[in-house]
Amino acid sequence: MTLVEVMVGTAVLVTGGGALLLGMHYALVQSDYLNHTQIALQAAQGELERLTGEAFGTLATGAAYNGARQSGQLAAINNAELPGAALGIQIKTFPAGTPWTTATLLDLHVAACWTSRGRRIGEDQNCNGVLDVGEDANGNGWIDSPAMVSTRVATDG
């Protein structure tokens, strides 16, 4: 073998090894993201389940959900793997614009926000549970996230 062949072979080996390491890095990043999304989704589903257990009148007019009926209300995600993560709870009448006192259907929406490897996930960029000015990227009036759940509940009376 000549020196040129050895150098070309080494360059191919180093390039292949670098590509392999880069691929492993991206696989780990994606694995973390999916793990965090699953944790956040489970927290959102648990919160939505809790909300559906509340009385319709409490959701529609009770003081405990004033923020949720406006632009959102904060609920914490208690998981050590997602420090600083939060849920945004929103409640709206259906159809939109129905007065709260006469509503017979409510839309319940729970969306999670968290930080994964320095990147904020979800529209609620400050994780305060509220859809602040400039956070609604698609203009639909809901906090959106890869981990969000919604349901519609009817009056029980």
User: Which tens digit of pLDDT belongs to each residue from 60-72?
Assistant: 999 999 999 999 9
Q: pLDDT tier at 138 (50, 70, 90 boundaries)?
A: very high
Helices (H), the chain: 3-52, 56-61, 66-70
Residue with tokens 């040129």: 4
Strands 105-116 and 86-93: antiparallel
Q: pLDDT tier at 128 (50, 70, 90 boundaries)?
A: very high
| pLDDT over threshold 90, residue 122 | yes
User: Which tens digit of pLDDT belongs to each residue from 2-46?
Assistant: 999 999 999 999 999 999 999 999 999 899 999 999 999 999 999
Which residues face 73 on adjacent strands? 89
Q: What local confidence, expressed as pLDDT, does residue 1 receive?
A: 76
The pTM of this model reads 0.85
Q: What local confidence, expressed as pLDDT, does residue 117 receive?
A: 84
DSSP, residue by residue, 15-54: HHHHHHHHHHHHHHHHHHHHHHHHHHHHHHHHHHHHHHTS
| Residue 126: DSSP 8-state | T
Nearest Cα to Cα of residue 94 among 132, 150, 146 = 150
Cα(83)–Cα(91) distance, integer angstroms:
25
CB atoms within 10 A of CB 5: 9
